[in-house]
Amino acid sequence: MHITQLNRECLLHLFSFLDKNSRKSLAKTCHKMLDVFQDPLLWSLLNFHSPAELKKDNFLLGPALKYLSICWHSQRVKVCNIEDWMKNTFQKDFCNRHENTVNDFLLEVCNRCPNLLSLTLSGCGHVTDDCILLLLKNCPNLKTLKLENCVRITDQTLEAVTFYGRSLQTLHVDFCRNITQTGLERVKEKCPSVMLRAERSANMIPDNKPEKKLMLEKASRKLVQL
């Protein structure tokens, strides 16, 4: 039997075992495979492991998407987690490209994936409070939000959770250095049913502008002299 003789249910099952690139390659072989590739049932879960993957056309975004994970930990991407004022020109240009890619993608998710149930973002140094706010507003069924090492996330995201995270059951904000204990306590107070985890976040050194760091260093030296 030729593969094109399989019924749609069997073809969908076959496609489900393939990665995004393999699905796209198979979709190019004939109209029937392309039709299966474009079936929303195939795209309820998406995983990405580098910023470059977000720009490919080997996946579909739509209302069927329920589970989304964007995680990367490569040495090159670690540059994005450095405080902006410490970056050189090359690093800033590199990070700007990533920022535009990530923000554009998440905006598409906000507009096209209202039924999202779970979102995991790890190592995404350009994800902002505004992005998460939009996602919480536009994806009212979101039950799980996991953020790890997202350096731009602050207490504003935690505040947004208390207002718009009506369906949220699990919230992780691990290694997010600009989260404070005050923000975490507010979530516990306003959303007692949410399973909250914040490994290291409130104990990490937050970002400070150079002039503020200088003031802190001077204050520390004065205390030592006293």
Q: Which domains does the chain have, with CATH numbers?
A: 1-42 (1.20.1280), 44-216 (3.80.10)
Do 79 and 95 meet the contact criterion of CB atoms below 8 Å apart? Answer: yes
pTM: 0.81
Give the tens place of pLDDT for each residue, 20-47: 999 999 999 999 999 999 999 999 999 9
The predicted structure's pLDDT at residue 209? 55
The strand order across the sheet containing 45-48 reads 45-48, 67-71, 118-122, 144-148, 170-174, 195-197
Does 94 have pLDDT greater than 80? no
Give the tens place of pLDDT for each residue, 136-193: 999 999 999 999 988 889 999 999 999 999 999 999 999 998 999 999 999 999 999 9
Q: Taken in order 118, 122, 125, 129, is the CA torsion positive or negative? A: positive
φ, ψ for residue 178, nearest 5 deg: -105, 15
Do 160 and 133 meet the contact criterion of CB atoms below 8 Å apart? Answer: yes
Amino acid found at 115: N
